[in-house]
Amino acid sequence: MPYPVNAYPHLFSPFRLGPLELKNRVVMAPMSSSLGGTDGRVTADQIAFYQERARGGFGLIIVEFTSVDPDTGRTEAHQLSLESDRNIEGHVRLVEALHQSGTKAFIQLQHGGRFAPATFLKDGITRGPSRVYSRRDPSKLVVEAMDQALIQRLIAAFGASARRAASAGYDGIELHGAHGYLLSQFLSPISNHRDDEWGGDAKRRMAFPLAVIRAVRAEIGDLPFCYRISADEFVKGGLTIDDNEEICRHLVAAGIDILHASTGRGPEAFDKVMEPMSAPEGWRLPYARRLREATGVPVIGVGQIRTPELAERAIADEDCDLVALGRPSLTDPYWPTKAETGRPDLIRPCTTCNFCIAQENLHRVCCAENPRTGRELDAPIPADLGIGRRAVVVGAGPGGMTTALMLAEAGFETHLFETRLGLGGGIIASGTPPGKEMLLRYRDYLERQVLASRIVAHVGEPADADTILAMAPDLAVIAAGTKRRLHAIEGLRPVDISA
């Protein structure tokens, strides 16, 4: 049943940041898409990826981390870069594509520091604030300390990249000072062991980020300027929320207009950077609130915010001023529009399954629930492809239901068979253990879609070869799952979970 169109008045109210006005408070968080060129350029695939989210109603899109100096800081093979003018033109096209939908665009500037793989770097040497030796072989130096010349070069590089971003038409700049990358490496006592003007105590550890902020501000004038920070690193000996309340006051004094409150540090506390589905919804919001209260500037809240109800409450309760959606924007690019128009029930729910960050998927952004994510330029299935044709799908798990929905949308007379008395298949068992409840939201979403469609659901009806052939289908899809292989473990016995 549709919700009232104005069910989320705070979430969909305009927001002003200096000279910039956003149409709503919904932000697409910066995430690597791995769609850039190996030379750091913006590609057509990348523009289409972001443009789909702009069409979906996001008020602000923060374009993914962009290297300011790939020779010393490239973090991924397909990472964007703005170290020279050669890549500006692609960013112009990207910004223009987002502006067509009334969406504003920031870009996130980054340097990998000690987390930049040596294989991506010009001289094959990884550098950070301080030396790092291999834990496996303590005699082996794996990260060299940056010298004064390189530090000054990188301060200038951040400023120059920001100038290029502004010339490309970006509406604001974000610095990636979270998750253990270079800016946070200088801030954190875990990674900064220097004893000079760039480290040695809390004040000197702030010197590099503050210098970068001043360099960027000098280049961008009054453009909105955001700093993404891990409000708590969640690592023994690392920065805590108490530390960062004080640090953020200095960041704001140096020129920051708005904070983006993330958490965690990779790899030591990566579960706080990209939490599992068992993490409580909205668990990071108290950290956003503390930074907001400590600094008096607007704060973007992010992390395990999956529903418009929670996003609305976060803003209404003044935990944050804007809400950033990362993984949910991959699952459903039209999350904002569906919420604003009173149809949150149509939002394809992100389950935080983290398929999108699985190692084998890092070559291209993807989503376990949305096969079009990262493939927006692929032609959609024609809506009249199946007109006058019949399709049979056997098995009403998530794969079977999704297949049936796709076939119905393509015009097929679609029949879905399920032996059990309800839809869901194996995802019912997967979503039953504590901490896995988000999987059942996806099951419920698919069931709603099936019941609202023209699909004929044969629930409680087994389908064998004779059943299928009797229907004379033009297409049959077997989505009945796999057979369980029992292992010779003493005491193991089958358990009936079908009831």
CA distance 35 to 43: 7
* Known catalytic membership, residue 133: no
442, 445, 450, 453 alpha-carbon torsion, rounded to 10°: -140
Model pLDDT, residue 360: 59
Model pLDDT, residue 363: 77
| Sheet containing strand 390-394, strands side by side | 456-459, 413-418, 390-394, 475-478
CA distance 476 to 384: 18
Catalytic hit among 50, 181, 442, 445: 181
Q: Do 187 and 206 form a contact (C-beta atoms < 8 A)?
A: yes
Model pLDDT, residue 38: 94
Model pLDDT, residue 314: 98
How many CB atoms within 10 Å of residue 143?
A: 22
Q: Where exactly are the structural domains of the chain?
A: 15-361, 390-478
Peptide bond into 224 cis (omega under 30): no
15-361 to CATH, choices 1.25.10.10, 3.40.50.10470, 1.10.940.10, 3.20.20.70: 3.20.20.70
Q: Which helix (H) or strand (E) holds 16?
A: strand 15-17
Q: Do 131 and 141 form a contact (C-beta atoms < 8 A)?
A: yes
pLDDT mean values, one per 10 residues, the chain (499 residues): 78 97 98 95 98 98 98 96 97 98 98 97 97 94 97 98 98 98 98 98 98 98 98 97 98 98 94 94 98 98 97 98 98 98 97 85 85 95 96 97 97 97 94 95 97 97 94 96 77 63
- Per DSSP (E only), the strands in 48-135 are 60-67, 80-81, 104-110, 127-128, 132-133
What topology is assigned to 390-478 in CATH? Rossmann fold (3.40.50)
